[in-house]
A and B are shown apart, each in its own frame.
Chain A
Amino acid sequence: MMRSVYVLGIGQTVFGRHADMTVNDLAAAATLASVRDAGISPKEFQTAFCGCIYSPPTVVESSLIRLGIGRIPMYTVENACASGSSAVHLLFREIALGGCDVGLALGVESLSAYNKKFGKGLIGIEGDLDAKSGLTMPSFFSMLCNRLIQERGATLEDICYPSIKNHKNGMTNPYSQYKKEVSFQEIMKSPMIADPITVLQCCPQSDGAAAVILCSEEYFKKNNKKAHRAPVKIGGSVISVSGAHDSSFDPLALEANIMGVIDACEMAGVNPRKDINVVEMHDAFSGEELSAYEMLGLCDAGEGVSLARSGAVAMGGRCPVNPSGGLLSMGHPLGASGVRVVIDIARQLWGEAPNQVKGAKVGMAQMLGGVLSGIASPVVAGVHILVK
């Protein structure tokens, strides 16, 4: 029997350029913010997990010792853009299965540090067969956009819609890298990367960290210092990995995404179509978000474009997607984003979000990672369902 797992506290840095900060500086700052938010001593943690892609060794130990946290099991986990989701998932399991009562899930990344080490430009994967033939993240997602146009009847306006919406959503977010609205004309006038993807359809490179403290029901009842906060629990937590792909594979129907959502919703006992009031998801590219609506179960297969056109995913709609501004406006410190989407959903369910979805009771936090990772390009999705 799995125990219920609750969100006790959250913290993060502003996302953006922090070229003068190390990953340890960023991770320590987010953790400190989370313990202050929860009102517990850092000494309370019984375990810690950290998601990070390009960190130096022992990032979690080196960051947490600065807050006096040691002598507990700690792990850094790498799962591409789902690294932070994986940290949350592992902590969730640890508490749900009775391994501990309270712990920390952290995510951190410094793309500034990465660029200093490896040079600027599109991130390449060493030794990858397809990367050697010129496959990049923008080229992969440009093919996805072209499939949306061909198979789903999407227009360029449809492809740009998530970027326009999310930049607008990010205007009030104090943690956001950008606070600037963009129009369709501005997006299409920005430099072309891979047709039809322009710079303003891509998330930026970012530095930042995010942290969440999870705990058991008993621990929550004893230590929830913010009594005005309603209990928010992790109803479903799934890490979903794809299998090998053959020529029947449709990038508009990523198995890892679809199965991850089905499993997480089943775990939480919710119907994605009816019950989910708000979604924070991996919008590394504007077209990616447009393609995801149907995979996340927000509508029938093939109906994602009409869902967007109906206004359902905008603020005030049936299920706003990325009210935080998403990766496109918030920024995307790779390892941190999987934790950040979870804490943004917690803010929504507590009623503390800067861009609040009124009356939100159930939310989904999703991340997708992979593609350029070697043979057969496996992908991994991390899906969390939070319930008030």
Chain B
Amino acid sequence: MTIIFHPGVMEERNGRWVQIGRKCSSCGKTSFPVTELCPFCSSENGEMVSLSRTGTLFSFSITRVPVGPYKPPIVAGFIDLPEGTRIFGQIHAAPDEIKTGILMTMKTGVLWTEKDGTEVMGYYYEPIKTDVGGAE
């Protein structure tokens, strides 16, 4: 069995998994995850939108102790999307492959497997191998 790691954050659209945000038609801001009203202006007017898959790495951490199902070194960080939304996610890359400002792309797959064999699916990020951004 496969389940999604957090209810409501992802949907399958046109055959691929996307993160679902909320674009407010009152203040124009895009928020994630979707909440009852816009977290910025409290408006109820807005639409569910699929978020950009590519963003830039704002900051990242390398954790050297186990955290929940994750084994060290655990690379994770905040990714800034073009729509102005910042998302935290696991980063599948070696610590020396990343630095702030580089382009990252969202991937989906199994984040961890429960003891009963249930696969828990979610999103994570990978650096885009390109000269663009701050990568050297």
What is the bound-complex CA distance between A245 and B9, given in angstroms?
18
> What is the 8 Å Cβ interface bit string for chain A, positions 54-89, against chain B (1 contact, 0 not)?
000000000000000000000000000000000000
Instruction: Answer whether residue B77 sits at the interface, using C-beta atoms and an 8 A cutoff.
Output: yes
Contact A139:B61 (CB < 8 A) given known A134-B76, A243-B40, A375-B33:
yes
B86 engages A246 (CB within 8 Å): yes
- Given contact pairs A247-B80, A375-B35, A147 touches B59 in the complex (Cβ within 8 A): yes
> Is residue A191 within 8 Å, beta carbon to beta carbon, of the partner chain?
yes
Determine if B67 and A146 form an interchain contact, defined as CB atoms under 8 angstroms apart: no
> What CA separation (Å) do A218 and B13 show in the bound complex?
68
Compute how far the CA of A134 lies from the CA of B74 in the bound complex, rounded to whole angstroms. Answer: 8
Minimum Cβ distance to chain A for residue B123 (Å): 8
Residues 109 to 156 of chain A near chain B (Cβ within 8 Å)? 122, 124, 129-136, 138-140, 142-143, 146-147, 150
A185 at the interface (CB under 8 A from B): no
B59: which of A136, A143, A243, A376 is its contact (CB, 8 Å)? A143
CB-based contact A134/B68 at 8 Å: yes
Using known A-B contacts A129-B6, A244-B40, determine if residue A193 contacts B65 with beta carbons closer than 8 Å.
yes
Q: How many of chain B's residues have a CB under 8 angstroms from any CB in A? A: 37
Given contacts A122-B65, A193-B63, A375-B35, are A134 and B90 in contact (CB under 8 A)?
A: yes
Is there an interface contact between A143 and B60, defined as CB atoms closer than 8 Å? yes
Verify if A182 is at the interface (C-beta below 8 Å from B).
no
Q: Is the CB of B61 within 8 A of A142?
A: yes
The reply to whether B77 and A143 contact each other, CB–CB distance below 8 Å, is yes
B86 touching A134, Cβ below 8 Å: no
**Smallest CB–CB gap between B37 and chain A, Å?**
11
Further contacts, 9 of them, CB under 8 A, given A129-B9, A134-B74, A195-B64: A122-B65, A122-B67, A133-B5, A139-B63, A139-B67, A143-B78, A191-B65, A193-B64, A243-B40
